[in-house]
Amino acid sequence: MANLKSLAKDTAIYGMSSIVGRFLNYLLVPLYTAKLSAASGGYGVITNMYAYTALLLVILTYGMETTFFRYANKQDEDPQRVYSTILLSVGFTSLMFVLLVLAFLSPVSSFMGYADHPSYVWVMAATVAIDAFQCIPFAYLRYKKRPMKFAALKLLFIMMNIVLNLMFFLVLPALYAAHPDTVGPIYDPTVGAGYAFYINLFCTGSITFCFWKELTAVKPVFDRKLMKRMLSYSWPILVLGIAGILNQTADKILFPYIYKNADAHTQLGIYGAASKIAMIMAMITQAFRYAYEPFVFGKAQDRNNRDTYAKAMKYFIIFTLFAFLAVIGYMDILKHIIGRDYWAGLKVVPIVMAAEIMMGVYFNLSFWYKLIDRTIWGAYFSGVGCAVLIAVNVIFVPRYGYMACAWAGFSGYATAMLLSYFVGQKKYPINYPLKEIGLYVGLAVVLFAVMTAANSALSLWLALAVNTAALAVFAVVLVKRDFPLSSLPVIGRRFRK
């Protein structure tokens, strides 16, 4: 019982630091879209560069974070030797990556479309290299069960990032307008979106100094034989990671190459900003994950209880559908998160949110191949889904622009989800309540149609009233069928009476 309480406490700390950090970072979206007009393409550049960063982070860690936990907990391995070997390996490959980018900066910048701004490229390379290196000390903190320092460093980075962004995108521009000679030495208005990258590099580099104890905790030893064994374990994780991250970033990386219009970065910025509203769904699904994983894995008696997985899937879909309807219902309020000249992209929000729901379903389905130790199936499913996503982008983006990006993500996740379901039913059958799930999906589709019609035909306040009523209908059905108020703690006694 004590171990379970410790697990729950640590999960809450890790989960809250991630969710709160993601929410605080989310607050930069209104700042960027307010200060970088859609026409300037500045937010499109940020969207594109951070998509590269996400992909490169997976490549530069090459599955070593997960590998560390696996080998550090093996009885016949020395945890300190494992940590030192992985730390030196990731540190060396990250350094080589930065040196290669610097050596070929001009051709790399030209290929990426940033020949006029090569600093964007080397700053991005340095940032992602430091980030990859930091993943190992962060993993070491988790291994040593130090969630407070883990959470503190994550939140420190976010707070530094927000403060400096507010300074360089809000405060200094205002001071420069009034006193250009005084502020000029520390602020240049022509840098624009570049400040986002410089700030990120500064904050990431600063956090590294906070790992002094973790970096000096072990004697630097590189075990080649151990590394060879760990690489054989990590390469499927790398393949799965690349396929997974490409499902999230391929459209934003490919868009400037396949959308040949001169305003490619403008259109990408509109798509990226509008997609951020849909990321509300990602935060909600992440919160569900943090509650769900310890529930499933924390109780030994439930690990092989297939009814547990079936019920978890059902409730995951129900609550994400409710979140989907809430975002659609209050879109006229939520759209103010981004600048007015980005509102043209709001039509992608329902599509991107539906794709996020399917990604969450795919995550829930993934437990079958994890339970039978056949994670290679995950690489297959993610790879096929990624291929579908890239194909839809390449074929349809030149004609339909960023709308094709949204549908490509939808198609990719739908493919991976369906493959995982049908193969899983043969390899590890689980009796999911498909009829009950179908009822909620059908109800959500009907209510979505009602909300969409209300948003387009009625005044703001009348539409909000209709949409609130529609949400209430979904909630009433949920309470009557699957979540009676009498089952709630404390207040449930009153309803039972």
Contacts of 142 (CB under 8 A, 6+ apart): 14, 69, 150
State the pLDDT at residue 10: 57
Give the separation between CA 319 and CA 254, rounded to whole angstroms: 33
Q: Rounded to 10 degrees, what is the CA torsion of 171, 175, 180, 181?
A: -100
Give the separation between CA 53 and CA 46, rounded to whole angstroms: 10
Cβ atoms of residues 210 and 134 within 8 Å:
no
Cβ atoms of residues 381 and 419 within 8 Å:
yes
Q: What is the largest CA-CA distance in the chain?
A: 75
Eight-state DSSP code of residue 168: I
How far, CA to CA in Å, does 310 sit from each of 271, 281, 414, 477?
Answer: 35, 21, 19, 20
Task: Please state the φ and ψ torsions of residue 114, each to the nearest 5 degrees.
Answer: -120, 40
- Tokens for 79, please give them: 């945890």
Task: Report, as ranges of residue numbers, the positions in the chain whose pLDDT lies below 50.
Answer: 1-4, 7, 294, 297-303, 488-492, 495
Give the separation between CA 385 and CA 391, rounded to whole angstroms: 10
Closest by Cα among 382, 413, 383, 405 to 257 = 405
Closest by Cα among 196, 201, 193, 191 to 165 = 196
Give the separation between CA 468 and CA 192, rounded to whole angstroms: 40
State the pLDDT at residue 12: 59
Q: Rounded to 10 degrees, what is the CA torsion of 38, 41, 42, 47?
A: 100
Eight-state DSSP code of residue 433: -
Q: Which long-range contacts (CB under 8 A, 24 or more apart) does 338-343 make?
A: 338/29, 338/30, 338/33, 338/273, 338/274, 338/276, 338/277, 339/30, 339/33, 339/34, 339/37, 339/38, 339/273, 341/37, 341/38, 341/39, 342/33, 342/38, 342/43, 342/269, 342/270, 342/273, 342/274, 343/274
The residue length of the chain stands at 497
Cβ atoms of residues 274 and 409 within 8 Å:
no
Q: What is the pLDDT of residues 352-373, one digit of tens each?
A: 999 989 988 887 887 777 666 6
Give the separation between CA 333 and CA 455, rounded to whole angstroms: 11
Q: What is the pLDDT of residues 57-103, one digit of tens each?
A: 999 998 888 788 878 877 788 889 999 999 999 999 999 999 999 99
| Burial class of residue 399 (count of CB atoms within 10 Å of its CB; 0-12, 13-18, 19+) | exposed
440's enclosing H/E stretch is helix 434-457
Give the separation between CA 151 and CA 153, rounded to whole angstroms: 6
Question: CA angle, 163 as apex, 158 and 164 as ends, to 5°?
Answer: 100
Give the separation between CA 11 and CA 54, rounded to whole angstroms: 24
